[in-house]
Amino acid sequence: DAYAEYVKEYYVGSFKVDIESYTQEHLKNTESADRLWWFQVCTEVAFFQVAPANDSIRSSKIDISYHLDLCKNVFGEGVYPVVDSTNLYYGGTDIAGSKIVFTNGSQDPWRHASKQVSSPDMPAYIVNCKNCGHGTDLRGCPQSPLVPEGSSKNCSSPENVNKVRQQMTEQIDLWLSQCQTAGRSSI
């Protein structure tokens, strides 16, 4: 009940989110951009946002079975996330790239699927605050269509958001200066 009230008041009321985009009928529409993300979730990564065991505003009915049923209902029988194959194909945590900045909010439900240990060519930053979710570094807090400019003023610790933004900027500036020093037009 608490979650339903929250969704009704904030998500639909304040943020003006179209809840129809979350229905299975919407996801069955092959013209839906949301369908692409869900196909990847249902076939490769299984980034299912389930309710924690205790003290969650999210309904305990939103569990692994719920998501697997959603995948089956939207994409048909036999659709199942093959996470091990995806990790094997893409290298899992052994990322074949360099000069990539990874940022996550401390409450980002997907942060555990991201790189969290820094290395010189792949720094990882966590924005720590009570309401730092997915995309805090770019969109601020709370993450909503009402804050497209990325204001950090509504974050519980705006200084933490701004610090990570500064670190990201300095890192990218360093890489660009190294590129210019080497006389290259690309990193």
Instruction: Provide the β-strand partners of residue 124.
Output: 102
Where does the pLDDT of residue 149 fall: very low under 50, low under 70, confident under 90, or very high at 90 and above? low
pLDDT of residue 185: 66
pLDDT tens column, 89-143: 988 888 888 999 999 988 888 888 888 899 999 999 999 887 778 888 887 776 5
What's the mean per-residue pLDDT of the chain? Answer: 85
Q: Average pLDDT, stretch 154-175? A: 90
pLDDT of residue 151: 66
Question: Is the pLDDT higher at 18 or at 181?
Answer: 181
pLDDT exceeding 90 applies to what percent of the chain? Answer: 43
Of 30-44, 46-60, 70-84, least confident by mean pLDDT is: 46-60
Is residue 76 over pLDDT 60? yes
Question: Token pair of 68, please?
Answer: 């697997």
Residue type, position 184, single letter: R
Question: Token pair of 70, please?
Answer: 């959603």
Q: Average pLDDT, stretch 62-68? A: 93
CA nearest 15: which of 23, 24, 6? 6
pLDDT tens column, 31-49: 988 899 999 999 999 988 8
pLDDT exceeding 70 applies to what percent of the chain? Answer: 90
| Distance (Å, whole) CA 80 – CA 93 | 22
Q: Average pLDDT, stretch 161-166? A: 93
CB 105, CB 133: distance < 8 Å = yes
Is the previous residue joined to 145 through a cis bond, with omega within 30 degrees of 0?
A: no
